[in-house]
Amino acid sequence: MLFRSSLVRPGDVPTAGQLWQSRGEAVANPADTAFWARDDLQWQQVGGEIYDPTELASDWMDNGNIKFSASGMYVVTFSFYRKSRVFQYDEGTETWSRKGQSLSLGDYYRMFISEDGNTLVFGCHTNGCNKVEVYKYEVNTWVKKQTLRGMEKADTIAATPNAQTIAVGEWQSGYGFVYVYDYDVGTGKYLARKDGRVSGDLGNELFGQDMSLSDDGLVLSVGAISANSGVGYVRTYIYDQTYLKWRQLGQEVQGTGKFSFGIDLSASSHGHIFQARYNSIKTLERHRYNASADTWDREISTDISVMGPAPPTLVFPAISNLPGGAEATLFGHQAYDEGLGVQGRIYWRKYDPETQSFPEYGPQIVGPVTSSRYGGAVRLSKSGRMAAFTGFSSADSTQRRAFVYRLIDPDSLTPPPVNGACEASFYLNEGRCFRCPRPMTSPAGSTSEAACKCPDQGTYFRSEEHTSELQSPDHLVCRL
C-alpha cells in the first residue's frame, strides 16, 4: 500500500493529514457493533486457574506483570525467580497448559506475545541487561533468535498483533529514542525500518517510556512523561511509505500541571484514538484524531480513582482500547490494604460521548474470597471480549494465579438436550438446544409450521418467508 493520495500532486510531499486520509477510516464490524449494543452480557471463566504445578510454590507469579495475546489463547507470566512461562488454551479440553519450557531471563520487565503464540519479545534495563530479545517457538521449544538493541536502557516494547513490526524504546545519555523493526521472511530476522527512528527533544524526558502501534505498524504513539519539567506529552507519528520516513500526526498533546502525562498509553487498532493517564494523579485522558484539521481533540479527562471499590487506598487501572476505536475501556481495580484482605474487582466501563463519562457497563468480576486480590494486572484480547488478570487461588490464598474470562451474550449459553428434549425456552435443532428468540427465526431450511413452536413461550405462527439470494426458501420468521 502506498500513501500517494489523489489530494497530492505528483512530486509533492504529502502532509501527515493526507497520509492519514489515504489509509481510510476505521470501520466497525457490524457483528461487533451488535454485540457491544447488548445490555445483558455476562462473564464466563475460560478454563481453570492458570499456573504451572510442576514449579516450586515459592516461585510465585508477579502480580503486575502478565501479557495476553491478541487472540486471547495465550498468556505469558513472570515469576519471583525471574522465570517467564507461556500458557495456551485448548478449546477441546477447556484447559490451560504450559507451552514450551520455562525461560530463565534475569531482570526482564516488558513482555509481548504474538496472536498465534509463536513469537515472544522481552525487554529489560537493569543489572546490565539493557536489551530486547526475540524468541520463536520451534519444535516444542522456545529458541532465542535475535537481540534488537543493547544500549544504556532498552526495555519498552510495542508490537503489532502478528509481531510483524516491533517498536523498541531506549535511552542514550538521557535522551529517548524509539526504533522500529519489521520482520523479513527471507532472512528470518527483524530489520531496522528505513529512517525508522523517532526521538524526544531533550534529555531526561523519558521519551518512549510508553508506546502503542496501530495494527498495520504505520501509526506510532509515544509518551514522554518527564518532558517539560514533569508535565509530559504524547506525540503520534505516521509512516510515509513513499518517502520512507515518520511524520508527526497532529499536534503534541501536552498534559496539564506537573503530573507526568503519557503513562499507560494505549491506542486503538487503527491508531485514531489514544488514551493515557498521569503518573502522579489518577486522571485518564482520551483523545481522538480529527483528520480534517490534523489535530488531536480531547474527548475526556476524568478521575478514575473514584471508580474503584469504596474506599480504595490505591487503585490500579488497566487501560485498553478496543479494536476500531470501539467506545469501551477495561479497568482492573484492586483496593490495597495490607491490614485487610481484599477481594479485588474487574470493572467494565464504556465511554459515553453524550455525557463524556465512563459509566459502568455490564457485570463485575469479583474475587471469590476476601484475599483474592483480583485485578493486580488486567489485559485485553484484540476483540475486547476476553480479559486476563492476576489474583490469588481460591484454594490457597498464598499462591498467585492468572485467570481468563470472556464476555458472552446469554443466548450463547445453550444447555445440552436431555433424553432428546430441551428445557423450557429452548428448541432442538440437529442435536443442539437453542434459545427461543422473540421474535423467533426458525433454523435455516425449516419451512414447516412445526418449526414455529417453542416450549414455554406459546405457539408461534408463520408470518413471513425469507428467501436467499437465489430466491429459494431459506427460513421462516415466526411471531407470537
Q: Spell out the residues 6+ positions from residue 382 whose beta carbon is closer than 8 angstroms to its own.
A: 70, 71, 72, 115, 161, 269, 323
Measured distance CA(35)–CA(16) in Å, rounded: 34
Q: Which grid coordinates are listed for 463?
A: 408470518
| Cis before 311 (ω within 30) | yes
Q: What is the pLDDT of residues 215-252, one digit of tens each?
A: 899 999 999 999 998 999 999 999 999 999 999 999 99
Measured distance CA(180)–CA(184) in Å, rounded: 13
Q: Is 32 helix (H, G, I), strand (E, B) or coil?
A: helix
Q: What pTM does this model have?
A: 0.80
In this prediction, what percent of the chain has a pLDDT beyond 70? 71
pLDDT value of residue 370 = 72
Q: What is the pLDDT of residues 87-146, one digit of tens each?
A: 999 988 889 999 999 998 776 668 899 999 999 999 876 656 678 899 999 999 999 999
pLDDT value of residue 436 = 57
Q: Spell out the residues 6+ positions from residue 355 whose beta carbon is closer than 8 angstroms to its own.
A: none
Which range in 14-18, 243-247, 440-444 is most confidently predicted, on average pLDDT? 243-247
Indicate whether 421 pLDDT > 80: no
Question: With the C-alpha atoms ordered 184, 118, 209, 14, is the resulting torsion angle positive or negative?
Answer: positive
Indicate whether 153 pLDDT > 80: no
Indicate whether 423 pLDDT > 70: no
Which residue's entry shows cell 528505513?
Answer: 194
Of residues 269 and 167, the one with the higher pLDDT is: 167
pLDDT value of residue 476 = 42
Of residues 419 and 209, the one with the higher pLDDT is: 209
Indicate whether 7 pLDDT > 50: no
Measured CA distances, 289 to 199, 225, 268 (Å): 21, 21, 11
What would the mean pLDDT of 473-477 be, rounded to a whole number?
A: 41
Measured distance CA(154)–CA(15) in Å, rounded: 31
Indicate whether 334 pLDDT > 90: no
pLDDT value of residue 100 = 96
pLDDT value of residue 407 = 84
**DSSP-derived secondary structure for 163-181:** SSEEEEEEEETTEEEEEEE
Q: Share the mean pLDDT of the chain.
A: 76
Indicate whether 261 pLDDT > 80: yes
Which range in 86-90, 353-357, 413-417 is most confidently predicted, on average pLDDT? 86-90
Indicate whether 33 pLDDT > 80: no
Of residues 155 and 91, the one with the higher pLDDT is: 91
In this prediction, what percent of the chain has a pLDDT beyond 90? 28
pLDDT band at 324 (very low <50, low <70, confident <90, very high): very low
CA angle (334 as vertex; 333, 340 as ends), nearest 5: 155
